[in-house]
Structure 1
Amino acid sequence: MKGLDFYIPAVVLVVAFTCRLPELIRHWRDPLVRAVSVLLLVASSVFLFAAPPTIGALNDLTGIPNFSAPLVYCILTAFSASCLLLLINWRGGPDERTRQLGRWCAGTYSTVIVALIALFALGDAPVERLRDFDTYYATTPFVREMILVYLLAHTVAAVVMTVLCRRWSLHVTGSLRSGLLLMVSGFILNLIFDAAKFTAVIARWTGNDLDFFSTSIAPPVASFSALLIGIGFVLPLLVQRLSVTWQTWVTYHRLGPLWRELRTVVPVGSRSVRISLWSPADLRVTQRVADIHDGFLHLDPYFDHVLRDRTRAAVLAAGADGRLAEATAEAAMVAAAVRARAADPEERIIGLADAYTSASSEGPRDLVGISLALRSPLVEDTRRRAASTESSTP
């Protein structure tokens, strides 16, 4: 495969990191955003630097046989730490407690990384081994300890993550539960990876040869486990983001009838801010709400509060709840005001009523409810009566 089994997951993880890069730049101070981005970047680095072609190239470049071995072990240790850090920030809790756990985790695994480098420097590994470094040097002083330290650190992280994710999954539902169960599966595979490595190394200690556990079984298990862990971390965040975006677009479209009703009052060309075709949904909603409120400002002198009260009473009498009655009453008042405003091109009524304060003194309007209520038969009847009154006016 010439390293493709390593490079393909590395590329997938780099693409995922690139997709999150704009959010990382915008929200650099958010610990959760940083933790997710670091995890994706470190995970991709594990596969990139663990690929045999990369190992050989780095060894040749530095002139140090097996230079890549401690580098890969350090990156793998950093990956274990980043998983724990992400889970710590993901679960939340008191800020001081979260920071304390984060510092403890970072400090512990930083110490492990320093120990790996020191043990490699003290040991002697003159023969380059691209795929079987662990078993070839399993009995070499100091290098043996380096291999043992990285496997223990990786195993501890996998056990902790498996237990915590499993425990947390029992108390949540939906995409978060699915993501946690995927992570549990991924970390169980990590434990299988560690078991395969330990089996091969211990076999060498006892004079046996079970290298295939390390060279043939462990690498594909590691690749699949990283895929499951990555999906498990990203899935709840992606579903949450898509859900928020979807709800924002739903709100935008639900505001459409009310926005279009008021377009004749506040022409589109009078907007202070232009929205491009590529503007995000939340900005579009903000602009649409601003346009609607501008329309209300222009219509305020034409609002018939008696009509609103009468319509509310009629809807309540029909058995509707108070929220629907209020939205329908507001919609009827808006529809009648639009007609009244159209019948007064010279704006003779302006100044006869208090500007907007009278209409908004009872609290903020339910704009989405008003927009949906514009299709109510009562509102349609209000439009017809307003039109007939307008046509009968000399």
Structure 2
Amino acid sequence: MSLRPAPLTGIRVLDLTRVLAGPWCTQNLADLGAEVIKIERPGAGDDTRGWGPPYIKDAQGRDTTEAAYYASANRNKQSVALDISSKRGAELVRDLARQCDILVENFKVGGLRKYGLDYESIKAINPALIYCSITGFGQTGPYASRPGYDFMIQGMGGLMSITGERDDLPGGGPQKAGVAVADLMTGMYSTVGILAALHERSRSGLGQHIDMALLDCQVAMLANQNLNYMTTGTAPKRAGNAHQNLVPYQVFAAADGHLIVAVGNDTQFQAYCRVIDRPGLSDDPRFRTNSNRVINREVLVPMLAEAMKAQARDHWLQALESAGVPAGPINTIDQVYDNPQVRARDMMRTLPHAAAGQAPVGASPLRFSDSPVNYRHAAPLLGEHTEKVLRERLGLSDEEIREVTS
């Protein structure tokens, strides 16, 4: 079957981001086929280049100088090392912006104005450009000038107040997520906003400024917990591995380990009770409906927990699957990548890498039938494409390139 080019083929992105939220966004765009030109500080580059160990390994199993953290968010990009604080460096970045469809940056509010790289300056030379700014708190409001980092945003934005075990249980207390979810969700929302602006540009012919804030995205992603608060006036509390609105929907201890049971409706609860040999529970008026199970959680859950101890984890997983009750193991990450479903979906790939030869990458979850995600190369070395981009995009001579890179 003849496949069409990746969805964003022909779109050019100027990437002035670093760390995670911005690079996650621009990696999405790169995966979708866009040409992404990442501007990095000469001699240092993106902060996360130094966030190791671990590092990408070469063919002999030796560490390169490329941090795995950086590699996780920068595949398919070209790295251009330019000093934007210099007059000539800023001028070259503006010249690149003239040729781009999208610019993504995560400098402090107003931080690019002194280089002539702020939205108004770039809009004057390329009114069709979509300019996305990612900051901790957005371009407006009393906190706009503050720096924002994922960990503090998870706390400030309410996520840690509902994540972790209850205070009255062992290990109770606020807990951050295991990955930087505020950064990642901001990168995803930014991708959505940029793609929407691209579609709008097809009608108006004009670009626009997209103002993205980690705190906004963190608050928005509280989803049902937001409405739990808004409809009751009471702030939700930490519930450990339990669910605020569904019962049973949590971790249970089996005879030899733990598993997740995720009952989403009353029919599933009836099937679950049959599997654990407690059919009478689903007929009990206190537990017949999910609403009643939530109200009577403290009575029901101990009975279920006691029943679950009777068999091994894998026995329950097989029996619950056969009965159509959602359940699953709690895998370590090595077990995740050994899972037959994850392997079948090809979620770990290897791509060419200038220092390692080949480097592993986590695959994009996007699946297109006819214009698939484009895997070209792993994260670039610092400045790997400087000469190529300056020569091919801006027409600089060898001497001009030496002047700006020396």
- Give 1 or 2: higher helix fraction: 1
- With normalisation by structure 1, the TM-score equals 0.23
Whichever structure has more strand as a proportion of its residues is 2
Q: Specify which structure has the bigger relative contact order, considering alpha-carbon pairs within 8 angstroms and separated by 6 or more residues.
A: 2
**Higher Cα radius of gyration:** 1
